Structure 1
Amino acid sequence: MRGFGLQRITGTGRGLFAGVAAVIVLVLVIGLGWSFAYAGKDSLTGRALTGDQLTALSRAGHACPAVTSARLAGQLMAESELDPAAARTESGGRGIAGLTDEQWRRWAPWSGAQREDTEAALLALAHLMCNLVGELRTSGVDGDAWRLALAAFRSGLPEVRKAGRVPGKASDYVDRTGKYAAYYETLPQFASAGSTQSLAAGSAPAAVPLPDELVPAVVAAGSRCPEVSPPAVAGQLMALSSFNAEQRGASGELGIAGFSEDLWQDNAPKGASVWDPQVAVPVMGDVLCRLVRELSALPGDPYLLAVAAWHAGVDTVRRAGGVPDAMTRAHLATVAAYTDYYRLDTRLAPPSAPLPSPSPSSSSSPTSASPSVRASAPTKSAPPATRAAPSPARPAATTAQAPATTAAPPPAVTTAPTRYGPGGPGGGGYPCRRRCRW
């Protein structure tokens, strides 16, 4: 009897090789199909974010190193799909952040805060998440701090402590949140450090000449310390408010210099008004010089670090060891571009001295204008007589007259440390806004 082997089944040796090749091709096709299907299921696309939500995320994303703006966005998407009016969210809370009533009572960021206020809700969520990170670290639970905190938010801190890892019933929530966060990290608004040019193209207004009435105050503010020059002060004011003395930012910034309420109260003369640019601008110079001294131990340009601290908070800059994120870098690039413009203004040169040498901002930041990404709500319009805006027929800054020599700078202001809240095991350190409870 003839052998009943593989060659008999295939007919010939050549048939054998052809059959094996066909099987290999079939396996590859099926494998690739599975891979493509898995890749499609392994990524999620989050909903578009509004300007107010982006602003709130950029603020809350500095609460502690484990909680970033993109991660918070992913959590909001998994929890409520960004619905501020959500009656019941994934974890049993309500509102855009999915906080329970008890969580809101504990973590509401200021007295009288409303859960419908996106900024308040996101700050409360960020501080709660940072606290969970700290609690888990002190409990000795090993693993990714953020994923563990997500699991604790979803199923409770005792469950995570008992399991010593992400519990099974929270794993789907943690995975979905991670996928949404990965999506938001790919967006230009959440770009990694260094990717500043595409963050908000065209959103930075063109520089305008410094109004005459502000020249003495800007020169005074830029004479407090060598690192902070008058053109640099003018550049920062342009970036913060476009010289609008009645500016009201979406995150509580007040006046021409964008003071937070706490920062103003801690540094301004008693009884002074944040709406008075003749007082607010010199106080800004005092605070910037103090920040230069406080951050002098960090590597990098001291003036840029001071501007970064003004924008994102001094504790955030310390924890990051420098400029913390792409949004802050974009703000610095905008300030640098404006500073280059105001360096041409002869009114801002010290008396009997040549124009200031290039400011630190121009040597350490991009020289081309980069848009600011600090999204803000429409500001309150100032009356024509008080709004600091030049008329179209006004000559360029390079032909303006030198400031009057009789304008003496206001006396130096004794400063006090800026209050930051809350610390806690998770790090905290986010600058207080409005009336903070801590």
Structure 2
Amino acid sequence: MALALTIVVCGVLALEVIPAIADDEKLEGKPVPTEDVPALVAAALSCPALTPPKVAAQVMAATAFGSDGANTGLAGMNDATWSKWRPSSGAARTDRQASVLAMAHRTCEIVGQLRAAKVDGDLWAAAVATDKAGLDAVLKAKGIPKSAEAYVDKVTAYANWYADQPVFSVKATTAEVAASPEQPMEAPDELVPSINAAGRICPTLTPARIAAQLRAVSGFNASLRSSTGRAGIAQFTDDMWERYQPGAKASRWDPKDAILAMGTAMCDMSQQFAGLSGADPYTLALGAYQWGADVIRQADGLPRANVPQLADQVSRYVPQYEKDTRLTAAKPKPPVSSAPASKPASTPPTSTPTTAAPTTTAATPPKPTGVAFDPNARYQIRNAWAGAVVELPGKELNNPDGTRVQLYNNLLQDDQYWRFQKAPADGYVLIINAFSKQALAVENASKDNYAKLVVTTKKESDKNQQWKLIDGGDGKVQIENHNSGKLMELLGDDLGPPQADGTWNEYWVEQWDRVSTVNKDQYWLLVK
């Protein structure tokens, strides 16, 4: 076997000399680097034709897990192929996870084309054949062309070998939690306030759970950077940090920022996974933190792979931190209004409120009820849950187009006031900042959940700048974007304050689908 491996490696890296291989033969490949296992498992969920061993085999055949030195990513894609299949416009080919995912998406797309063309046999093997012979040749042959048989045999033999490796064995999704032989690791004193604050953001969390997760992901090392791009004490990926970053000034290298953001992320994902596969939402949230939320949804739970699960590690560490008297587990309390004492609590615009706040909302947006507004008046937009108002960053600065709006305590600054102007579309308004004269919009005109709200130069015909004011009862309104159909809200479902000082200061505002039960953070007060 060692000799055969030597020949194959030489073939991959040099002359492509490929010996004849039987269908059930196993060809030893390079061990999968630990940091690449999640990427392979996640990529294999792209379509039923793939499995983690098959994905590993394709990577081994393409670049021997990057040891070919070609700097083309794990999948070995050329410029044109990468440009077509990269998972996002900003993805780098040297990003190991992105490279594997691009390869998986390409393979799945080809499998679909082959199925539509009524190609017989193993469609994964036929898709692999296109790497050597091209798609047209495979379609013409209605299977694997002679010119690609040796290559397909090699990749198949790699897949057979990887299927036997412990890392890809199918086991229970979680392991028995045994007593840890590791030495206790105390949470550093300087981190305790942030850990306590993060542990109070929602009832699912406790400071002990936050401390246990920090120990599991980084060992409380604020300078840690992984080979897969995770960084800081909470080991945020770039994408996850973009989603949960608690404001423009926050850094994932700052332990205080990162710990609080981790708390928000865990609360949000626990809420998302409530009811999925009947599993514990917190356990699934830990899985999403490790594997990515999409992987958890595609796998309908934790991926079945024989790798250390973050959920197991955290469960093992929690009992230690529950004994730490510095970590207090007080539950979050509803926020109080941040309005100045000298200012009336609320002066909503004229509307027809009901006598009480609703207990449910319709699955589809209700018809607008004609919420009245004074076009000559200035209003603060105050979140009904947080009590903070929407404003521009800084103190009355000339912020450029694309600046994200944020929440802040009510300081009565001009840039904390907004004017409402009738839009060309019936039933919609433009929301104009009283200081900058810029219009409220969704970043990049996105229709996705989590997209942040920004200000930009006013353009009355732009649907992305048009908003519907919907009477929510009790003087509250919901604010719906015309372009996306989503509501202006705060991240998560009525989470506790995301900042250590108990405020929402500098916290971004975003959009989300209308939920089927009342989320107070999807309601706003328009205050003169």
TM, length-normalised to structure 2: 0.52
1:9 corresponds in structure 2 to: none
1:62 corresponds in structure 2 to: 42
Highest relative contact order (Cα 8 Å, sep 6+), 1 or 2?
Answer: 1
Aligned in 2, Cα 1:230/1:410: closer, same or farther, shift over 3 Å?
Answer: farther
1:104 corresponds in structure 2 to: 82
The question of 1:75 aligning with 2:58 is answered yes
Structure 1 SS opposite 2:309:
helix
Aligned in 2, Cα 1:182/1:331: closer, same or farther, shift over 3 Å?
Answer: farther
Aligned in 2, Cα 1:210/1:409: closer, same or farther, shift over 3 Å?
Answer: farther
Q: 1:119 Cα shift?
A: 5.3
**Counterpart code for 1:47:** G
Q: 1:190 Cα shift?
A: 2.2
Hey, what's the Cα distance between the residues in 1 that align with 2:122 and 2:181?
A: 38
Structure 2 SS opposite 1:347:
coil
The question of 1:44 aligning with 2:26 is answered yes
The question of 1:308 aligning with 2:401 is answered no
2:356 corresponds in structure 1 to: none
- C-alpha contact 2:167 2:307 (8 A) present in aligned 1: no
- C-alpha contact 1:204 1:334 (8 A) present in aligned 2: no
RMSD: 3.8
Aligned in 2, Cα 1:153/1:415: closer, same or farther, shift over 3 Å?
Answer: farther
1:411 corresponds in structure 2 to: 504
2:167 corresponds in structure 1 to: 189
After superposition, residues 217-236 of structure 1 pair within 5 angstroms as: 217-236=194-213
Hey, what's the Cα distance between the residues in 2 that align with 1:82 and 1:245?
A: 29
Deviation digits for residues 261-302 of structure 1 (CA, Å, limit 9, x no counterpart):
122122221221111121221111111111112122312010
2:222 corresponds in structure 1 to: 245
1:293 corresponds in structure 2 to: 271
Hey, what's the Cα distance between the residues in 2 that align with 1:136 and 1:312?
A: 30
Q: 1:251 Cα shift?
A: 0.9
Hey, what's the Cα distance between the residues in 2 that align with 1:224 and 1:132?
A: 45
Hey, what's the Cα distance between the residues in 2 that align with 1:184 and 1:178?
A: 10
Hey, what's the Cα distance between the residues in 1 that align with 2:199 and 2:257?
A: 13
- C-alpha contact 1:47 1:82 (8 A) present in aligned 2: no
- C-alpha contact 2:198 2:210 (8 A) present in aligned 1: yes
Hey, what's the Cα distance between the residues in 1 that align with 2:286 and 2:154?
A: 36
Hey, what's the Cα distance between the residues in 2 that align with 1:187 and 1:179?
A: 13
Deviation digits for residues 352-380 of structure 1 (CA, Å, limit 9, x no counterpart):
9xxxxxxxxxxxxxxxxxxxxxxxxxxxx
- C-alpha contact 2:173 2:303 (8 A) present in aligned 1: no
- C-alpha contact 2:229 2:238 (8 A) present in aligned 1: yes
Q: 1:210 Cα shift?
A: 0.9
2:129 corresponds in structure 1 to: 151
Which of 276, 284, 288 is residue 262 of structure 2 equivalent to?
284
Aligned in 2, Cα 1:231/1:176: closer, same or farther, shift over 3 Å?
Answer: same
The question of 1:323 aligning with 2:305 is answered no
2:191 corresponds in structure 1 to: 214
Aligned in 2, Cα 1:204/1:283: closer, same or farther, shift over 3 Å?
Answer: farther
Deviation digits for residues 190-219 of structure 1 (CA, Å, limit 9, x no counterpart):
222338779xxxx99654111112122112
Aligned in 2, Cα 1:247/1:409: closer, same or farther, shift over 3 Å?
Answer: farther
After superposition, residues 277-426 of structure 1 pair within 5 angstroms as: 277-299=255-277, 300-326=279-305, 330-351=309-330, 408-411=501-504, 413=507
Q: 1:80 Cα shift?
A: 4.7
Aligned in 2, Cα 1:417/1:188: closer, same or farther, shift over 3 Å?
Answer: farther
Hey, what's the Cα distance between the residues in 1 that align with 2:272 and 2:86?
A: 30
Which of 172, 178, 197 is residue 156 of structure 2 equivalent to?
178
Aligned in 2, Cα 1:222/1:132: closer, same or farther, shift over 3 Å?
Answer: farther
TM, length-normalised to structure 1: 0.62
Q: 1:135 Cα shift?
A: 3.9
Show structure 2 runs of 5+ residues with no match: 1-19, 332-499, 513-528
Q: Whose helix proportion is higher, 1 or 2?
A: 1
Q: 1:86 Cα shift?
A: 6.4
- C-alpha contact 1:60 1:126 (8 A) present in aligned 2: no
Q: 1:347 Cα shift?
A: 2.3
Show structure 1 runs of 5+ residues with no match: 1-37, 88-92, 353-406, 419-438
Deviates more, 1:222-231 or 1:233-242: 222-231
2:518 corresponds in structure 1 to: none
- C-alpha contact 1:42 1:179 (8 A) present in aligned 2: yes
- C-alpha contact 2:21 2:150 (8 A) present in aligned 1: no
After superposition, residues 193-204 of structure 1 pair within 5 angstroms as: 193-194=171-172
Structure 1 stretches of 4+ with a deviation exceeding 6 A read 38-41, 195-198
- C-alpha contact 1:241 1:258 (8 A) present in aligned 2: yes
- C-alpha contact 1:218 1:281 (8 A) present in aligned 2: yes
Q: Whose strand proportion is higher, 1 or 2?
A: 2
Structure 2 SS opposite 1:345:
coil
Deviation digits for residues 101-140 of structure 1 (CA, Å, limit 9, x no counterpart):
432343456658456x755644443343233334445556
- C-alpha contact 1:248 1:255 (8 A) present in aligned 2: yes
Hey, what's the Cα distance between the residues in 2 that align with 1:133 and 1:204?
A: 47
1:161 corresponds in structure 2 to: 139
Total equivalences in the alignment: 316
Deviation digits for residues 308-354 of structure 1 (CA, Å, limit 9, x no counterpart):
111111111111110013256633211211123222222223259xx
Aligned in 2, Cα 1:162/1:207: closer, same or farther, shift over 3 Å?
Answer: farther
Aligned in 2, Cα 1:261/1:97: closer, same or farther, shift over 3 Å?
Answer: closer
Structure 2 SS opposite 1:231:
helix
Structure 1 SS opposite 2:233:
coil
Deviates more, 1:106-115 or 1:179-188: 106-115
1:355 corresponds in structure 2 to: none
- C-alpha contact 1:230 1:348 (8 A) present in aligned 2: yes
Hey, what's the Cα distance between the residues in 1 that align with 2:260 and 2:303?
A: 26
Aligned in 2, Cα 1:50/1:175: closer, same or farther, shift over 3 Å?
Answer: closer
Aligned in 2, Cα 1:292/1:171: closer, same or farther, shift over 3 Å?
Answer: same
